[in-house]
Amino acid sequence: MEWTGALYADTPTVEVETWIDAPPEKVWAFVSDIERMPTLSAELQSVEWLDGVTGPAIGHRFIGRSKHESLGRWQTTSYVVEYEPPRVFAWAVQDPEHPSAIWRFTVEPQDGGTLLREWMQMGPGRSGLSFAIDRMPEKEQKIVFVRMREFETNITATLEGIKKLTEEPGKARG
């Protein structure tokens, strides 16, 4: 990730993609099962659906519990805002009208396998990062840059984990 000088109010984004040697349906089954995601994340610790639901649909809610060496522990409620099986799954964190973040997986058939993208947007709603910015407003650009780089690193690890879990052993190609 290159330095952009972005501010939180700029709602910076990051996107990572990978090609997976597996059919889109197999990749989709994994990315749409949010309760499996903590197994691929150093930050996300657990996820559970709310309101008695057991899977994604527009408007469904879930709680995510996370931890970070510098930010501590926290939990957020997320709302499914896009759900188009087997193509797009996205959720807004905290307030769907003014989220602290938006996360999206996109699954697309490509070259006999699947192109998987994970995208996220920081803000515009306040998040835990806002408190660090409030304390050190002169360092806002650096705070935002460091956090976006962490998101890029974490997303890359998540996609590599999904690739490893969905490709058949011995069948993977570059």
Q: In the prediction, which pLDDT does 170 show?
A: 55
Please report the domains of the chain, with CATH numbers, ordered by start residue: 8-166 (3.30.530.20)
User: What average pLDDT does range 17-37 have in this prediction?
Assistant: 95
pLDDT digits (tens, 9 = 90+) for 35-51: 888 888 888 999 999 99
Six-digit token string for 129: 């990062």
User: What average pLDDT does range 158-170 have in this prediction?
Assistant: 88
CB-hemisphere CA count at 13 Å for 163? 22
Amino acid at 30: F
Composition of the chain by helix, strand, coil, percent to 5: 30, 35, 35
User: What average pLDDT does range 95-104 have in this prediction?
Assistant: 96
Q: In the prediction, which pLDDT does 172 show?
A: 46
Enumerate the β-bridge partners of residue 106. 88, 117
